[in-house]
Structure 1
Amino acid sequence: MRDGRPRGRVIWAPVAAAALSGLVIGGLARLLMRGIALAVGGLTGMSLAGTVAILVAFVVLALPAAVTAAARPAIMHAGRWVTVALTGLVAARTGLGDAKIIVLADDDQLTPITMLIVAFAAIVVAHGRLAQHLTRRFRALPHAPAEALRTPDARPV
């Protein structure tokens, strides 16, 4: 690489950033989905399979933003908004799976539901931004020389 950083960092930084941002935002989304179910009086159980599927989906959806984090500004913004658009679509379809329940909700349920939907929108926008921020941070980590990684000799000098 021209900047002296190892080539592997170009690959692992976006992957690690997508994984971390996907786990964080996916976890928050899962909690918000349960909040909406609770607000409308639905089932509030969380299955392990459903949670894992949501987390994996959010990790994969973070990849466009993470991969374009170090690109020119136009490409970087496009990558971020691809992540936001795809995440928003998936979150809306999954989190608001039964829209009839929300439409038929009582007046006292509308405020918490509205707040949860706004929170969904906020984390969806944060998803792409977090993935790009983490990618840039991971790429900027200092390179550890091979000598620093070796175990020190236990013999006294």
Structure 2
Amino acid sequence: MRDAQTYTFHTRSMQETQELAESVGRLVEPGDVFTLTGDLGAGKTTFTQGLARGMDISGVVNSPTFTIIKEYMGRLPLYHMDVYRMEDELEDLGFDEYFYGDGVTVVEWPQMIAEQLPAERCEIAITRGEGDERTLIFTAYGRRYEIVCEAIKNDHSGN
């Protein structure tokens, strides 16, 4: 596999973060996997809400903190995982069925299941700036995610 490519985006508000994620949601395909890292309150769930909107998912999207996985239906299924409370990294919850299935998977706190993640994925690190400012660094592992990131870069070149 080629070296990972990184793309940096800056948002100035929660709305801009969701708009960036919504553009990603319009480009997703079955089997896409996005991982989200960042401190508590960085905007991982905010990003997922925008992604869901781009996938034509209506209704409330919130963190699956205590359920580990929440499923939403839109243009494609969205599997939103928060694996922070996983006690055993090797615990088998059938992740492959999600990662290689017919939907899109978003994993918050992916370091908890690092060994189970697919090699090809898009890692998104979110850091807080002042106020509602965020820096989002997308690392594309695989050509599919490079294409998505290039499209987003072209769409959000003003940020």
Q: Give the alignment's TM-score, normalised by structure 2.
A: 0.26
Normalising to structure 1: TM-score of the pair? 0.27
Bigger strand share: 2
- Based on CA coordinates, which of the two structures has the bigger radius of gyration? 1
